[in-house]
Structure 1
Amino acid sequence: MALKRMGIVRNYEEIRNFTIAIIGIGGVGSVTAEMLTRCGVGKLILFDYDKVELANMNRLFFQPNQSGQHKVDAARETLQFINPDVQIDANNYNITTMDNFDHFMKTLRTGNLQNGPVDLVLSCVDNFEARMAINTACNELKQTWFESGVSENAVSGHIQYIEPGVTACFACAPPLIVASNIDERTLKKEGVCAASLPTTMGIIAGLLVQNALKYLLKFGDVSNYLGYNALNDFFPRMTMKPNPNCDDSYCCRRQNEYIIQQRNQPTLSTKTDDDNDESIIQHEDNEWNISVVSESIVESDHNINVAEGIRYAYEKPKDENESMKTSDQTTTTTSNVSLEELMKQMKNL
């Protein structure tokens, strides 16, 4: 409540009205759930299908006596002890299967305190398939969500704000990860699982919850993409617009809806007599339609240049039509060369 008294948040009591779904109750997800519980959120909906193991004891959350329990059940038990006022809904299943995905969609659509859509979805999973399932569901439901992750070497991580149609979805481009300047081939060793550090996971969980609170309670600036590199305490940021050629049809549909919505918004009225002449800067001549934009905004398409310290997880394969076009151009260029010129080129080889 000190945030309200100090003027940071207008009405912190609104936190009691929000419902947040958390998918993945692992290193990031479990700490995220605990932070939101201590913040007094109205309802948490948890999704996971793994069990607690002794190897999970560096998660800042699970206890040795919970070994063998399903993660969602162990989390609900701990969270209700921390704050019994928070309603906890535990779902112990894999969201990527067909039957479970339908229930997952229904829960997101009707899971809030008034049986309506949830207010926010937080992805804390550690695999590509689950992220794509969340992305598909949120695009179809027009549901805002945050994606998060920690690298396999445990020294970097990120969070990403995704609003269908407004920002790039998870399928718009290869996922962005923080470049750690380590040869990734040295991380893949037979019989060795991914590393984990409670420090890195706690930092990413903190960044995730902080931005979730800013989004829900409407204070500060929500980061579109925020990375963290523990090796040099580097926090790269960037913004990425949606790809109009996204493979997800619902993403393209949401983009069109957003464009129509922007067009239908009333434009700012012209200057009235009460306006201060000095408050509006006018340029009489602007033949080239030059505009000034913030340096923090990255104009992007599906081939954008990412910010310093960030890279794509993989190179997206080229579209077949584009490859055929390139091939045709090469053929056309070659066919215009005379036979004598081709013979000269062959002799020079």
Structure 2
Amino acid sequence: MASLHIRDVRKNYGNVACLKAINIDADDGEFLVLLGPSGCGKSTLLNAIAGLEPVSDGEIVIDGTVVNDVESAKRDIAMVFQSYALYPTMTVRKNLTFGMRVRGVPKHEQEAAVERVAAILQLDQLLDRKPSQLSGGQRQRVAMGRAMVREPKIFLFDEPLSNLDAKLRTDMRAEIKKLHQRVGTTTVYVTHDQIEAMTLATRIVVMKGGEVQQIGTPEDVYDRPSNLFVARFIGSPAMNCLRGRLQGDGAAASFVGGQDRKQPLKIALGALSPGQQRYIGRDIVLGIRPEWFALAEHADAFDATVDVVEPTGADNFVLVSAAGESIMTRFAPGVGRAGESVRLSANAAKALIFDAVTEQRVP
């Protein structure tokens, strides 16, 4: 196991900046997820850590050693790719031992490593099969096992589940999490799937346009996104981001917005922090997760009309309209009927305020 430090790393392709001053610290044994939309630079950063891409500037430090000029094979990392990259003519056993055989590892050490990894990944009964005889999930476990036999300092995963169907992705997420809990190896995992990020990570690095937008625990990036990009990108359904004005005083403030000026949307926010109080009388963006709304009949509630109900089994996603604004809410099964009038209130303790110009969250 090892720590990983990314220090002011930049990567340029001609005049195009793909990575812009990336700074990340991963502790020994951490599971770090690089999350962002396609083209944000997360795979480029992973390849730079692996030594597959040289950086234009900055340092990559693994276990206290700057590895910028260390070739990939000598960085003591193991990478699992989106494609399983298994040798089709070799059995599972030979796929697992191939790298060790190339390096001249004694046969008894190879056998011990295969036995250890096969037990962890439940590959014992598959060792004499070839990849064509395996399911997608089994192939991915073999690809993981081939990385594990090396006992590397760092595991690198490049969207390893994107080729699997929904059920297999769920199963393999659990397998990867159990694997990390057992072996505790520092892991960097690239994905554009926020569910994978939220369920696997000890910390998430949210990226956009080659820049880090936020680094935090899954709870941090979900409950306290640093800006509107993170707020909208994390969460399914996405956070409601409503434009309007902050009114009232520091002890009893309200958000006032919506398209209907005669009957505007008014959401009670209660007491504000000192930083938020500076925005009274100014335009803001109010961020509220769908589950932060509740049915209510008290005076601070606002009127809404149910437009669409999307049952998912465990929840009902209920799209409502209020003062010309569409708002997504999340309730228990059976709640909401199209055309129904409801009264809603927002959880003021959870609601977030963002600067309307900079789009940064106001603490």
User: TM-score, length-normalised on structure 1?
Assistant: 0.29
User: TM-score, length-normalised on structure 2?
Assistant: 0.28
Structure with greater proportional helix content: 1
